[in-house]
Amino acid sequence: MSKPTPIKQTRSSVISSISEVFSSQRAAFARDMNPSLAERIDRLDRLSAMTARIAPQLVEAMSADFGHRSPHVTRLADIASVEADIRHNRRSLAKWMKARRVPTALAFQPAYCRVIPQPLGVVGVVAPWNYPYQLAIGPTVAAIAAGNRVMIKPSELTPRVSELMRSAVEASFSPEEIAVIVGDADVGKSFVALPFDHLLFTGSTEVGRQVAVAAAANLTPVTLELGGKSPAIFHQDFSAELDTGRLAMTKLFNAGQTCIAPDYALVPRERLSEFVAGMQASVSRMYPDIGSNPDYTSIINERHWQRLQALLDDARSHGAEIISLGQRIPGGMPRMMTPALVLNVNDDMRIMQQEIFGPLLPVMVYDTLDEMLAYVNRHPRPLALYWFGADAGARDRVLRETLSGGVTINDCMWHFGQQDLPFGGVGASGMGACHGEAGFRTFSKHKPVFYQSRFSGMRLMYPPYGKVFEAVERVMKFIT
């Protein structure tokens, strides 16, 4: 698959058709505002069958878009992850759809209260290029489980995957159920300007701000899955062999092109040499040859390759020490960047100011837990935080005294794979949450309903007001 399948529509025709698709989905929702459990299960089943059917093509298209991407990475992160989402939603959906009875204040009984989950309408999903299938279809699973119609805008940086997804969805769903809109940044701007009932965007903080502004014009609620600089904190008692291996695996998964990849490490000063040696040994064991290793992944395009090289050059010019991890044999596959540790870093370097999104790992040393916590908390809230160490007291202090989107203890990234944990950012790393029941809740209106009884005591509160009202008012202070 050397070239993407040509997209027949021109940019202007795509932009003009976006509103038509949206209007069609809005009208379809108006005709069926609360799909049954059977209808929702049917849509999930069709998504599952579609994913299984195109899986081999997806592996091929993904690698072609990246230059080279490990088939195992695609199968694990994009295909198996979506399949797990579907299975979990399918198993749990009947329970999630039920109305929940909630307590009623004593003064209002025998009335009662319920919360009824209801679909929102038409949901927009904007997906990035790094996991283009999972980050498009994963939120779609949650949205259709909640009973919504969905429009997806995939990234223009992975055109083969986008076109494959468009054609597969078109073959499996009516455009009134799910539609994929392919196109460039201008198409994306038109997409996010639609008055969706909810809009989920995954991508950079910079673009996320623009999306939030566009959505605000329509008062569209947004879920923003952004990024930031996620720290990996190593306590003095970390295991040089076990923990550096876990860090190396997750940092280099997809060549570091992951929003929750560890973005820098905080290491006790006296154990820095052990940490470096552990990272060198771990990377050499996993990726003995960087240039033509089928298990490694290329940087997505030349612009991002040059951006990463510029980060290294800037760090070096400010006094950083670059330690190469692994050996790159000349030739092989395109844009296979050799992993590197960047030591002696400081906040004046661009590598400590920007999310890296590549196989480069800055390492900072610290002397005390107080110093380390102060550094983390001086910076924007990260999407993820990682702790390595056996000291439960220190670990719990870090959990209490830092704020991040999510946490994995003694490893990295795996909180993302837990269906019963909500996934989302905080502050500059995003807002809202998805995954499992959190995704169902995000894409539902949880309607509060008060059911009055024929025998309501509220008639005692009717005018004309007098002594009865005042007596009831005094009593209510004690029973509400």
The strand pairing partners of 406, in sequence order, are 384
Residue 271 lies in a domain: yes
* Whole-number Å distance between alpha carbons of 84 and 463: 58
> What is the pLDDT at residue 472?
82
Question: 283 with 362, same domain?
Answer: yes
Q: The domain that contains 53 carries what CATH number?
A: 3.40.605.10
Q: The domain that contains 401 carries what CATH number?
A: 3.40.309.10
Does 225 participate in catalysis according to the annotation? yes
Residue 65 lies in a domain: yes
Range of the structural domain that residue 262 is part of: 231-424
Question: 241 with 217, same domain?
Answer: no
> What is the pLDDT at residue 5?
46
* Whole-number Å distance between alpha carbons of 333 and 293: 8
Sequence-distant (≥ 6) Cβ neighbours of residue 80 within 8 angstroms: none
Question: 114 with 200, same domain?
Answer: yes
Residue 101 lies in a domain: yes
Residue 464 lies in a domain: no
- Which helix (H) or strand (E) covers residue 16, if one does? helix 11-31
Does 259 participate in catalysis according to the annotation? yes
> What is the pLDDT at residue 4?
47
Asked if 288 and 327 touch (Cβ cutoff 8 Å), the reply is: yes
Give backbone dihedrals phi and psi of 180, rounded to 5 degrees, phi first: -110, 125
Catalytic residue among 177, 259, 355, 434: 259
For 135, 253, 276, the CA distances from 262, given in Å and listed in that order, are 19, 11, 16
Residue 450 lies in a domain: no
Residue 141 lies in a domain: yes
Among candidate residues 259, 225, 229, 204, the one with its CA nearest the CA of residue 361: 229
The strand pairing partners of 407, in sequence order, are 385
Question: 379 with 439, same domain?
Answer: no
- Copy the structure tokens of residue 77: 């992160």
Question: 92 with 188, same domain?
Answer: yes
Question: 331 with 214, same domain?
Answer: no
Residue 232: how many CB atoms within 10 A of its CB? 26
Label residue 332 left, alpha or beta by phi (over 0 means left) and psi (-120 to 50 means alpha). Answer: left
Catalytic residue among 156, 176, 177, 225: 225
Per DSSP, the three-state class of 179 is: strand
What residue ranges of the chain have pLDDT lower than 70? 1-15, 329, 480
* 438, amino acid identity: A
Asked if 46 and 90 touch (Cβ cutoff 8 Å), the reply is: no
* Whole-number Å distance between alpha carbons of 346 and 315: 9
> What is the pLDDT at residue 140?
98
Question: 438 with 395, same domain?
Answer: no
Question: 202 with 281, same domain?
Answer: no
pLDDT digits (tens, 9 = 90+) for 293-343: 899 999 999 999 999 999 999 999 999 999 999 877 677 789 999 999 999
pLDDT digits (tens, 9 = 90+) for 384-413: 999 999 999 999 999 999 999 999 999 999
Query: What total number of domains does the chain contain?
Result: 2
Question: 38 with 168, same domain?
Answer: yes
Residue 2 lies in a domain: no
Question: Which DSSP category does 80 fall into?
Answer: I
Question: 37 with 181, same domain?
Answer: yes
Question: 200 with 265, same domain?
Answer: no
> What is the pLDDT at residue 101?
96
Question: 251 with 170, same domain?
Answer: no
Asked if 326 and 288 touch (Cβ cutoff 8 Å), the reply is: yes
